[in-house]
Amino acid sequence: APTGTLVIAENETPENLDPANATNSTVDELLLGAYDALVQFPAGETAVSPRLAKSWTISEDGLTYTFTLRDDVVFHDGSKLTAADVKFTLDRLKAAKANVLNDIGPLSGAEVVDDHTVKLTLSKPFGPFLSALSRIYVVNKALVEPHMAEDNARQWLAVNEAGSGPYVIASYNPTEAVSLKAFDKYWGGWDGNHVAEVVFRYITEPSTQLSLLKSGEVQIAPDITVEDKLALMKEPGYVVDVGQAATPLYFDFNTASKGPTGNPKFREMLAKTFDRQLHLDQVLMGLGTLPDGPLPTSWPGHESGTELAFDLAGAKKMVDDNGWAGTTLTVRYLPAIQEEKSAVEQLQSNLAEIGITLNAEGMTWPAQAATVQKVDTTADINMIYSFPPFPDPHAILNASFNSALTGSNGGYNWAQYSNKEVDALLNEAASSADPAKRAELYKKAQVLIGKDFAVITVSYPGSVVAVSDKVEGYKYNAAHHQTFNIMDIGLK
Amino acid sequence: MRVLRRLLSFPKTNVERTAIVLGCLILLLALVGAFLVPFDPMKIDFRAKLQAPSMLHWLGTDGSGRDVLSRLLYGARLTLASTFAVIIVVVIIGCTIGIASAFVGGAVDNMLMRLADIWLGFPPLILALGFASALGASLEAAIWALIFSWWPNYARLSRMVTADILSQKFIASADALGVPTHRKVLHYVIPNAMDVMLIQIALDISAVMLAISGLSFIGVGAQIPAPEWGAMIADGRSYVSNGWWIVLAPGIAIFITAVSFNVIGDMLRRELDPTSRRR
Amino acid sequence: MVELKGVAKSFARRLFVQNRSFALRDINIAVGRGEVVGILGESGSGKSTVANIITCLTSYDGGSYRFKGRDIASYTRKERFAFKSDVQIVFQDPYGSLNPRATVRGSVMESLILHRPDLGRRERIERANALLEEVGLSADAGDRYPHEFSGGQRQRVAIARAIAVEPELLVLDEPLSSLDVSIQAQILELFVRMIRERDLTIVFISHDVNVVRLLCDRVYVMNQGAVVEEGFARDVLNHPQNEYTARLLDAVY
Amino acid sequence: MASLAPPTTDRPLLEIRDVSVALRTGNRTMVAGVSLAVRPREVFGIVGESGSGKTLLTRTLLGLQDDAYVAGGSVRFNGQDLPVNGYANKARKLLGHSIGFVPQDPFSSLNPSMRIGKQITEAIYLAKGWPMGAERTREAAIGLMAEVGIPEPALAFNQFPDQFSGGMRQRMVFAIALAQDPKLLVADEPTTALDAITQRRVIELILDRSRKHDLAVILISHNLELLRQSVGRIAVLYGGQLLNIVPSGDIGQSTIHPYTEALFDCIPTREKTLADIRSIPGEPVGAGFGLKGCAFASRCPYVVTACRTTDLPQNAGTASIFSACILGRGVH
Amino acid sequence: MRYVGQRILFSILSLCVLLFITFLLSHVVSGDPAIVAAGPNAGADKIAAVRQEMGLDRPLLVQFWIYCSNILHGDLGTSWFTRQPIASDIIRELPPSLELVFVAMVINLAVSLPLGLLTARYAGTTFDDVVRLVVMAGAGLPIFWLAIILQQVVAGQWRLLPTAGRLGFENRDFTGATGFTLLDSLMQGRFDVFADALAHLVLPAFALTLLFTAVGVRITRTAMMGEFRKDYVVLARAKGASEGRIMVRHVFANGATPALTVFGMQFGWMLGATVLVEEIFGRPGIGRYAVKAVTQSDIHAVVAVVFVVGLVFLISNLVVDIALFLLTPRKHAGA
Ligand SMILES: Nc1ncnc2c1ncn2[C@@H]1O[C@H](COP(=O)(O)OP(=O)(O)OP(=O)(O)O)[C@@H](O)[C@H]1O
Ligand SMILES: Nc1ncnc2c1ncn2[C@@H]1O[C@H](COP(=O)(O)OP(=O)(O)OP(=O)(O)O)[C@@H](O)[C@H]1O
Ligand SMILES: [Mg+2]
Ligand SMILES: [Mg+2]
Ligand code: NI
């Protein structure tokens, strides 16, 4: 039986508990325990495996997915999970125009075949569809339906939970702490070492997180500074886990701008002004990998050498040749993220050297997101982390460079980047199921993107988490970046 | 010369003398400090980050390898300039409203002062926060936000002082002579209100400075890489465990400046305030 | 010269309160050219209010005020300004009645700057010095500020300031009552000399019966905003007709 | 009843010898070498222009002024030495029993937030403890209030000071000063802030009380005419010096100290004409003027060089009549 | 009673001005709230829908009217981030902050009043000088800096007090009826929880109050000095009252009245200053909520916080004024 309490420090508070917002990691880390999806990416694995769905079949044309559900799943209120709940979940997300659907491609509808069979149909073939389903958390129709009203139960689900996951959200004080307790009728059972309670404590200050970790009040502190993490590595009693994260950090240039960044030559100059090696060595203290283009080097479809190397002298020459000295640019970033701040400072410092002023505006995620919804409110440069919801080139490249997903179209393409050829390549790759062909298409896309100087890929930081050595079973989950595999964790 | 001699006769204790010396020093540093800095306050050098105070870096370096002393000196100008910007605008706006209100009198006066009363009530930080959120985060926004929430102080004070002056007999004497209003304002009201205003300004310097750095600390004021003192503290707070000097230095700078101007303000109050003087 | 007929005045109390308090009701006062007229009364009886009405420092609610035969209400702006050089006032409090931020000479010259624009700077200074000397202050006192003077000296400055424009009517609102006893006599002597040497009409306001007895030709006795008795000083103060006047005289040491 | 020894009729009630008063800050001597004696039942006046040190002297003697102290000399009350210095609670208690004090300003001398009755019963309690119980104390207080001429004292008992006029308040202060049944009442310009008719009533109240209750009174005023008509003897203070002690009847009649004479010549009275008024030239000297010799020397018509160099004669034997003029009485 | 009526009337007037200011904040000065509210991935149609939903397409006066009537019905709008009615968010966040301010205020009063009284009584002495210097120093310490230093030193290095949070780990499940942990724990007789909550309050309350206490001491001193100069002190001394009695029974009551008015205002200001400490100490509360709302451009939440803090300010002033009026009835009628 599960025992003990695991306390995790978290620096950002969650917006709400709505599965529609599962794209956001502070929300996802709570939902991951409380809900189940049809399929899952277990921590440490890069392939989808069954969860609510025991098995599935895919039609020849790749347009119809039929899932067979487990029959032993109960929601936290004791009622059985059926195909109707799955259909309801998807219908609700559609109606609510939920963010999670951005990654799921051309889903056209769900159909209940019988209690334990559900059929999902697409309007176009979509390669990573299964992977994308891992973020679709199934809600209890009976509980949610009465609250649908005109807001699609957004308000109700924001503070209430209707899941079937291993943990029940026992208390929700989003500025203080959220507590999850083990659900004793969980279908997966409780064999092995598990914790009975998981508490997320919201502690903004990295230094406070460190104090609490040291005093034993928390067992996992992900947000302390790199320097502190390095120091902890040498201290007994702590384990510093470095996960192979695949979350590229970009400087997105506003390619649609009427200002200087609208000019590809100017962007070419900018592309030479950031020293990635220095960032990796001195800001990340070596805990990460050196970027080579917008896709993680180990992923299929990666093409190397698409981005320019650091060459401040070359940039300086371009500035002098073109008379760009005196230009003023603005960058928007999240000051709460230390490496973003450092990168901005570094860029500011380098640009200052070649006569360009870079103003920085610190913001929070939602505020920054709001500014990119129009081209003319988009800053010259935006910093953005791409958190791919599943390990597939599509999750990074399509989200960041497809013109259908520009910021002004509500996506994460904050470079407002639009290139017909790239779009065509990405769409073709998405609808294909052949890995080799897809890889080829993605390589071509990367070359084109590189020639347009849409972004600087700043870094691939490792996911460095300081953990008390009493914790066992913590493993980084690349598909759920910045979350914790709480159902696998036990306390010694 | 006379004014200077008079000013030099004010300090009575060593604390006051120290405060004046420090106050002048800080103002001087704000003016010329930027030329004295041993290192470029903006130049990032990650290889030199988090160095403890040493002969080379007297106050150490920060998380991006910048010299803390250089940033402190450079930031003095930024911090004090924003403080004075707030105070100057607030004094001009507040006093104009206050003096006009006292002269007009009646219902207008009553209404303006009620408004100021109510306005004053709102916690300045929250009001400024609301304002800054509307304008977006920047040092200018923080300055405007503080102006927005601070003006009633001066409106009320100048109204009170003006009303007090207007109720005195020398104004009645002036009325008996038919002195026109503009002359009354320039020759009677302003010279007599000056002292009280000066005291308030001296005391407000520290209050405004604390407020500005507070806003910067929350993140709605100065933005990176500007070395505003409050922003420097915010910047350094994540390094307290392995770079305590980064937070300590700007904090002490704010503290010394605030205390100096407070002491000077108190001294001015003692020396200039008509109500505390014996006849 | 001054003719107040049925003058009344009330003050509104406060913002939310409607009822008004009467400071003066139905006041009739007449002052002839060259007369020294006393107004006697206890604190709060309305003496200062009368003084302020005579010098046009406050408005009044009812009745009429004629100055040299013309109703004040009919004055144009210009005439009103000219009126200010005809009528001057000296207040009780010597500490508050001088601008603390102007030199004593500056205060005296203020009236010349406003009412004698024909004079040059030189002449104004000379005149101011002469005036200061006339009230018994040395000329070099002019460069100093009011706070460097004693109460009696300030009152002298206030008097110099008032007579600088050569007014015809001088209103003295309890000019002695906040001075030291020995200084009161000095200022009293100054008044006596001024009355003798200058062509002045004087309204002298006081609560000191003995001073009024010495200085005034005629006297008005006020109580609670109304004139209760008037007449020649020796008649009223030796044989009061009104019961209140009698009580007041009895109480005086 | 007073807690000190029973009075002996001819012994002075209050005897001050060579008292000087200095300020704690700067140690400036403000009042120097004052000697005088007040007999039981006597009404004694102190006159002096503003700033001459009347308030400072009396308050310091009674231990009521915390920024000044008795720098020299001795004070005997009812035959016993008074521990005057400091506001030591012990000394104050002793004083509180036998000496009543009325401060200058009736508008600030009552605690604005305490009911009148409470302020009077507090005085009774502090003088006598609660031997008589709350109800009896209340009655005693109401009796006192009636005695000083407050209409409807039972009603006033529960009211606050600002519901009363200045004259009424001054009566309340008297009630408090008299609550302890003192031998001596010190009244510091009790009527200056009041208008003529009220002033007369209050002065008469004091004199009446003195007559009926064997109360000695020190009445401080700058109004020489008032004192001349009300008290037996007058002490004249000028620039912190005691220049003259004179029976009131002598003023305007026989020769007295030049200052007293000049002061009398300044004030208009019923009888005087303009010709009788003679001002004193120059400015009055305040207490603590810090020069040697006679404070009045700079304005005195009879001044000789010795006036500025010789120390003032002292009233060493606390004689009932005294002049500090080195030229002696009867100079002209 | 007329005074009380006037005071309440004035408060209602203030409320209207408050409403107007907050309305202006939310609708005129700010950018387009609809874009922010629609969320990061919204298209133009969604923004238009949100705009209509929020009533932003109506004339300004109508909007103000809707705004006022909503607020008076207790509807402060919906946070577009927590998706909750802001009113319920604030009801949840207010008690911890009020609790913090309350403890800070207790410290403030407990230090300011006696120290102000004593320094006024012994003005000019070395004691006075030392206290004045300390107070002056206190008035120059940035709240947030003090908070960081205290947390690092007292909690971090010395481990004397808890670092962060509202309650210790062992009491994390404690809940109560009112939301005020101190009150709830007492009501339930859980003294261990009470002590725990208090321990967590000490550092933030101290950091929050130091600046206000410094001002409080100065104001109290000035007020008391004025009282010590009045003649009733002389009269009380002449009665034979001891110095202690004079301070406590006479001067204190009179000098505290003007000082307390300022303390009433400080309550509201402190509530505003919680933005500087709550985040550092990881406490839930209105200040932290406000900072978050501002950085997220959750305009309605910001406005609601401004409104609620203003409201608390108005109420605390009203309460202090009326209480003072009832305690010293005549003073106001005369003034
Ligand atoms: N500005 C004012 N507002 C309200 N009431 C006033 C004002 N000025 C005077 N009063 C009232 O008018 C009445 C008469 O006042 P006034 O000053 O004329 O009396 P006074 O005889 O000069 O008294 P005093 O001897 O004290 O100078 C008083 O009751 C006073 O309270
Ligand atoms: N605490 C003090 N500190 C400094 N100077 C003082 C103090 N108290 C009194 N004085 C000075 O001592 C002198 C005598 O003052 P005091 O009040 O005794 O005069 P007074 O005769 O009572 O005058 P009045 O008639 O105005 O009451 C004055 O010059 C005054 O300025
Ligand atoms: Mg008057
Ligand atoms: Mg006196
Ligand atoms: Ni709105």
Q: From first to last of its 332 residues, what are the pLDDT tens digits of chain D?
A: 333 333 445 688 899 988 999 988 778 889 988 999 999 889 999 999 888 999 999 988 888 887 888 888 888 888 878 776 654 555 666 666 788 899 888 888 899 888 899 999 998 888 777 667 888 889 989 998 998 888 888 888 988 888 888 888 988 998 998 888 888 999 998 888 788 888 898 899 899 989 888 899 999 998 899 999 999 999 999 988 999 999 988 888 887 889 999 999 988 888 888 888 888 888 888 887 776 888 888 888 888 888 888 888 888 777 788 888 887 754 43
CB–CB contact E236 D111 (8 Å): yes
Query: Which residues does residue A460 pair with via DSSP β-bridges, in sequence order?
Result: A289
- Residue position matching structure tokens 């030099």: B8
Report the distance separating Cα D114 and Cα D123, nearest Å. 13
Query: What is the rounded distance in angstroms from the CA atom of residue C88 to the CA atom of residue C203?
Result: 10
Do D210 and D189 touch, CB atoms closer than 8 A?
no
pLDDT computed for residue E333 by the predictor: 43
Ligand 1 mutation target, pool C4, C7, C19, C21, most atoms within 8 A of CB: C21
Contact E330 D93 (CB under 8 A): no
As a residue count, chain E comes to: 335
Domains of chain D: 14-98+186-323 (3.40.50.300), 108-181 (no CATH)
CA C71, distance to chain mean position in Å, is: 20
E271 burial (CB, 10 Å; 0-12 / 13-18 / 19+) is buried
Between strands A381-385 and A249-253, the pairing is antiparallel
- pLDDT of A6 strictly over 50: yes
Write down the pLDDT at residue A200: 94
- Neighbouring C-beta atoms of residue A395, cutoff 10 Å: 21
Q: Choose one of D25, D34, D55 to mutate for the ligand 2 pocket test, by most ligand atoms within 8 angstroms of C-beta.
A: D55
Contact E265 B121 (CB under 8 A): yes
Q: Which residues of C99-110 are buried (b: 16+ CB within 10 A; e: fewer)?
A: bbbbbbbbbbbb
Residue D294 CA to residue D283 CA, distance in Å, equals 15
Positive/negative CA dihedral, E260, E261, E265, E271: positive
Both structure tokens of A304? 């190397």
| Element (DSSP H or E) covering residue A139 | none
- Ligand nearest to the CA of residue E23, numbered in listed order: 5
Measured between alpha carbons, how far is A263 from A268 in angstroms, rounded to an integer? 9
Residue A232: its H or E element: helix A226-234
pLDDT band at residue A446 under the 50/70/90 scheme: very high
Ligand 1 pocket, CB under 6 A: C 11, 23, 41, 43-49, 207
Q: E132 and chain A: CB distance < 8 Å anywhere?
A: no
Q: Which amino acid belongs to residue A330?
A: T
pLDDT over threshold 50, residue E34:
yes
d(C-alpha E298, C-alpha E82), whole Å: 10
Q: Is E119 on the interface with B (CB under 8 A)?
A: no
> In this predicted structure, which of A321-330, B246-255, D190-199, E179-188 has the lowest mean pLDDT?
D190-199
* Cα distance between residue B44 and residue A345, in whole Å: 7
Segment A210-244, tens digit of pLDDT: 888 988 889 999 988 888 899 999 999 999 998 88
If pLDDT is split at 50, 70 and 90, which confidence band does E31 have? low
Q: Tell me, yes or no, if E242 comes closer than 8 A to chain D by beta carbon.
A: yes
Q: Which residues contact D266 (CB under 8 A, 6 or more apart)?
A: C181, C182, C184, C185, D277, D278, D279, D280
How many CA atoms does the CB half-sphere of D79 hold within 13 Å? 10
Task: Classify the C-alpha dihedral D211-D212-D214-D215 as positive or negative.
Answer: negative
In a domain, C220, yes or no: no
| Bigger pLDDT: B155 vs C94 | B155
Domain E88-327 in CATH 3.20.20.140? The answer is: no
- Residues C161-183 have pLDDT tens digits of 999 988 999 999 988 888 888 88
The pLDDT score that the predictor gives to residue C17 is 45
> How far apart (Å, rounded) are the C-alpha atoms in residues E23 and A143?
37
Q: What is the pLDDT of residue A265?
A: 94
Burial group, residue B176, by CB count within 10 angstroms (0-12, 13-18, 19+): buried
Name the closest ligand to CA D237: 2
Chain D CB within 8 Å of residue E252 CB: no
Q: Residue E257: what residue type?
A: T
Q: Three-state SS for C94?
A: coil
| B214 touching chain E per CB within 8 A | yes
Query: C19 pLDDT band (50/70/90 cuts)?
Result: low
Which structure tokens are listed for A141?
């129709």
Bridge partner residues of A221 (DSSP): A466
Q: Is D67 exposed, middle or buried (0-12, 13-18, 19+ CB in 10 A)?
A: exposed
Cα–Cα distance measured from residue E61 to residue D306, given in angstroms and rounded to the nearest whole number: 89
In whole angstroms, give the CA distance from residue D112 to residue E236.
13
The average pLDDT across E229-249 equals 86
Q: What is the mean pLDDT of residues B198-223?
A: 87
Q: Give A447: exposed, middle or buried? Use CB within 10 Å, 0-12, 13-18, 19+.
A: middle
Asked whether the beta carbons of residue A282 and residue B46 sit closer than 8 angstroms, the reply is yes
D146's tokens: 């009636």
- All residues of chain D having their beta carbon less than 8 Å from the beta carbon of residue E329 are 160
Tell me the C-alpha distance between D176 and D155, whole Å.
17
* Vertex C226 angle, CA C223 and C229, to 5°: 75
pLDDT value of residue D88: 54
To test the ligand 1 pocket, which listed residue (C47, C171, C203) has its Cβ within 8 A of the most ligand atoms?
C47
Q: Measured between alpha carbons, how far is B66 from B113 in angstroms, rounded to an integer?
A: 48
Separation between Cα atoms, residue B159 and residue B165, nearest integer Å: 10
Give the count of alpha carbons within 13 A of E147, CB side only.
31
Count CB atoms within 10 A of the CB of residue A63: 17
CA separation for the pair A387, A245 (Å, rounded): 9
The order of strands in the sheet holding A5-10 is A167-173, A177-182, A197-202, A5-10, A220-221, A463-468, A238-243
Residues A345, B49: C-beta atoms closer than 8 Å: no
Fold for B11-38+57-272, please state it.
Answer: MetI-like fold (1.10.3720)
Alpha-carbon distance of E149 to B246, in angstroms, equals: 12
Q: Is the CB of D53 under 6 A from ligand 2?
A: yes
Q: Are the C-beta atoms of residues D51 and D287 closer than 8 Å to each other?
A: yes
Count CB atoms within 10 A of the CB of residue B198.
Answer: 15
CA C36 / ligand 3 centre spacing (Å): 18
Question: Which of C182, C215, C252 minimises the CB distance to D263?
Answer: C182
Those residues with Cβ within 8 angstroms of residue A353's Cβ, 6 or more apart along the chain or in another chain: A312, A316
Contacts of B55 (CB under 8 A, 6+ apart): none
Nearest to D196 among C150, C152, C252 (CB): C252
Please state the pTM of the whole predicted model.
Answer: 0.85
Each residue of E120-155: pLDDT tens digit? 988 888 899 899 889 988 888 999 999 999 998 898
Of B170, B178, B279, the CB nearest to C114: B178
Residue type for position C50: V
Q: D273 touching C, CB under 8 A?
A: yes
CA distance A446 to A458: 16
Q: Measured between alpha carbons, how far is B133 from E293 in angstroms, rounded to an integer? A: 9
Structure ipTM: 0.84
Integer Cα distance of A323 and E41 in angstroms: 38
Query: CA–CA separation, D92 vs D69, rounded Å?
Result: 14
E84/A177 CB distance under 8 A? no
Ranges A66-80, A103-117, B138-152, E81-95, most confident = A66-80
Identify whether C108 is part of a domain: yes
Contacts of B122 in chain E (CB under 8 A): 18, 21, 268, 272, 306, 309-310, 313
Closest ligand to residue E28's CA: 5
Q: Name residues whose C-beta falls within 8 Å of residue B252's C-beta, 6 or more positions apart in sequence.
A: none
Euclidean distance between CA atoms C23 and C20, whole angstroms? 9
Contact B26/B209 with Cβ under 8 angstroms? Answer: no
pLDDT digits (tens, 9 = 90+) for B158-174: 998 999 899 888 999 99
Beta pairing, strands A117-122 & A64-69: antiparallel
Q: Is the pLDDT of residue E66 over 90?
A: no
- Cβ proximity of A460 and A482 under 8 Å: no
Q: What percent of chain E has pLDDT over 90?
A: 23
A250 CB-near residues (< 8 Å, 6+ apart) = A294, A383, A384, A385, A386, A400, A415, A455, A456, A457, A458
Q: Tell me if residue C93 falls in helix, strand or coil.
A: coil
Residue span of the structural domain in which C123 resides: 97-167
Q: Ligand 2 pocket, D23 CB below 6 A?
A: yes
Selection from E235, E239, E232 nearest residue E253 by Cα:
E232
Neighbors of chain E by Cβ distance (3+ pairs < 8 Å): A, B, D
- Kindly report whether the peptide bond that precedes residue A260 is cis, defined as omega within 30 degrees of 0: no
CB contact under 8 A, D279 and C153: no
Rounded Cα gap, residues D197 and C246, in angstroms: 11
Chain B, nearest residue to E302 by Cα: B130
CB < 8 Å & 24+ apart, contacts of B211-214: B211/B124, B211/B125, B211/B128, B211/B146, B212/B79, B212/B82, B212/B83, B212/B86, B212/B142, B212/B143, B212/B146, B213/B79, B213/B254, B213/E142, B214/B125, B214/E142, B214/E143, B214/E144, B214/E273, B214/E275, B214/E276
**Is E280 in Cβ contact with A203 (below 8 Å)?**
no
Which range scores top for mean pLDDT: A254-258, C94-98, E250-254?
Answer: A254-258
Nearest C-alpha neighbor of A92 from the set A54, A147, A39, A53? A147
Specify the pLDDT at position A95: 87
List all chains that touch chain C, counting a touch as 3 or more CB pairs closer than 8 Å: B, D
Considering only the beta carbons, identify the residue of E36, E159, E175 that sits closest to A370. E36
Q: Is D62 in the pocket of ligand 2 (CB under 6 A)?
A: no
Is C131 contained in some domain?
yes
B231 or D89: whose pLDDT is higher? B231
CA distance C98 to B173: 8
Q: Is pLDDT above 70 for A124?
A: yes
Q: Is the pLDDT of residue B47 over 90?
A: no
